[in-house]
Amino acid sequence: MRMRHRHNTSGSDEMEMSQPAVCTVFFDLETTGLDLSCDIVQLAAVCGHHTLNLFMVPRRPIQPGASRVTGFRVTRRRLFLRGRPVLTNSLRESLVSFITFLHVLGRPLLAGHNIRRFDCHVLARALDEFSLWSDFQRGVSGLVDTLPLARQLLKDRGLKSFTQENLVKNLLGVSYAAHDALEDARALQKLYRALTPTANHIQRHVFTLDSLATAGVSQTSDLSERFKTAVNVTEERHSSVSSSSRV
């Protein structure tokens, strides 16, 4: 914190205190399914050009629908992404690396899309399992969910869907490789810049993991619908390819 002395017109000294701007880290998880007891498979975070991208072999089976959407599968305790093996860390190692990443960036604001209803519950359970809750809390200044933030900022745009993919397409005019945690985090960083929220807008949507624990478990219907839609599209494409092969 810097302190500056400024002389005012009345002749008295006025102390003005200013704080450096808090940076924002954008993160996303890919998981074994949609229930809140699912396991994390990929954890990624982005802050400017700084990135973190970690993979884990989950202890629970990856649900078929999630596998079709994300491309992850486990064979003989090895994790594969679209048929290629990926290097993995243990869940605890990944969480510690994530916390270290946050600490190095100076207690940033942690942002994600629809995280208040899903990602943060899954993350909180994992942190609690390894007694890392307090370390995580000390590493962030707060969390912000960009889903309700976008709904507030774009309420007059007439958008029917506020999924991240749809927002990126409408505001940035591009498509990206969704359901890859790193690409989702990178896309969200660009989307956030396009939304240009004010400090007051952001403050209205800041929360903590402790506040989630107090409020209890939230519903995940919006995320379920998003995944169901993605799975249906995947299945339709698969059926189309299969039909063409038989002709």
Structural tokens at position 123: 């993350």
pLDDT given for residue 213 in this prediction:
72
Query: Alpha carbon of 54 to those of 106, 181, 186, 191: distances in Å?
Result: 21, 9, 15, 23
Nearest CA-CA partner of 88 in 44, 45, 130, 57: 57
Q: What is the pLDDT of residues 64-83, one digit of tens each?
A: 999 999 999 999 999 999 99
Q: What's this model's pTM, rounded to 2 decimal places?
A: 0.79
Helix (H, G, I), strand (E, B) or coil at 154: coil
Contacts of 19 (CB under 8 A, 6+ apart): 1, 2
pLDDT, the chain, mean: 85
Q: What is the mean pLDDT of residues 74-97?
A: 97
The band of 179, judged by pLDDT with boundaries at 50, 70 and 90, is: very high
Residue 141 pLDDT > 70 = yes
Confidence of residue 48 (pLDDT cuts 50, 70, 90): very high
